[in-house]
Homo-oligomer: A and B are copies of this chain.
Amino acid sequence: MRTKPLSGFPEFLPAGRIAELAVLDTLRETFELHGFAPIETRAVETMDALTRKGEITKEVYTVRRLHAVEGEAPKDDLGLHFDLTVPFARYVQEFAGHLAFPFRRYQIQKVWRGERPQEGRYREFTQADIDIVGDNTLAAHHDVEVALVMLEAFERLHTRFGLPPVVMHVNNRKLAEGFYRGLGVEDHLAVLQRVDKLDKIGPDAVAKLLVDDLGISPEAAAKCLELATIQTADTSFVEQVRALGVENPLLDEGLAALAEVVDAAAKAVPGRLVADLKIARGLDYYTGTVYETELTGFESLGSICSGGRYDSLATDGKRTWPGVGISIGVSRILAPLIGKGEFVASRSVPTCVLVAVDAEDTRVASNDVAARLRARGIPTEVAPKADKYGKQIRYADRRGIPFVWFGDTVKDIRTGDQSPADPDTWTPPAEDLTPSIARG
Measured CB to CB, the residues of A under 8 A from B are 1-6, 9, 11-14, 17-18, 20-21, 32-44, 46-47, 49, 52, 57-69, 76, 78-80, 89-91, 93-95, 98-100, 102, 104-105, 110, 112, 114-115, 124, 134, 139, 141-142, 268, 314-316, 348-351, 363, 371, 374, 377-381, 384-385, 395, 398-399, 401
- A–B complex contacts, Cβ < 8 Å, 6 sampled: A13-B98, A60-B65, A64-B64, A66-B79, A66-B114, A100-B399
Known: A66-B57, A100-B399. A9 touches B39 (CB 8 A): no
Residue from B3, B9, B110, B139 within 8 A of A384 (CB atoms): B139
Contacts of A398 in B (CB 8 A): 100
Classify the secondary structure of A's interface with B.
mixed
Contacts of A46 in B (CB 8 A): 6
With both chains docked as a complex, state the minimum distance between the C-beta of A440 and any C-beta of chain B, in angstroms.
Answer: 16
Contact B142 A384 (CB under 8 A): yes
Contacts of A115 in B (CB 8 A): 65
Contact B90 A35 (CB under 8 A): no
19 additional contacts (CB under 8 A) given A3-B49, A14-B99: A6-B46, A11-B39, A13-B98, A17-B39, A18-B37, A32-B379, A33-B377, A43-B80, A43-B124, A57-B66, A58-B67, A60-B66, A66-B114, A100-B395, A100-B398, A100-B399, A139-B384, A139-B385, A268-B371
Q: How many Å lie between the Cα of A43 and that of B291 in the bound state?
A: 30
With both chains docked as a complex, state the minimum distance between the C-beta of A310 and any C-beta of chain B, in angstroms.
Answer: 14
With both chains docked as a complex, state the minimum distance between the C-beta of A389 and any C-beta of chain B, in angstroms.
Answer: 18
Contact A11 B91 (CB under 8 A): yes
Measured CB to CB, the nearest residue on chain B to A363 is B141
Known: A11-B40, A384-B139. A62 touches B60 (CB 8 A): no
Residue from B35, B102, B105, B363 within 8 A of A380 (CB atoms): B35
Contacts of A399 in B (CB 8 A): 100
Contacts of A371 in B (CB 8 A): 268
Contact B384 A33 (CB under 8 A): no
Contacts of A5 in B (CB 8 A): 94
Contact B14 A315 (CB under 8 A): no
With both chains docked as a complex, state the minimum distance between the C-beta of A76 and any C-beta of chain B, in angstroms.
Answer: 7
Contacts of A63 in B (CB 8 A): 61-63, 80
Residue from B105, B110, B363, B374 within 8 A of A43 (CB atoms): B110
Q: How many Å lie between the Cα of A215 and that of B14 in the bound state?
A: 52
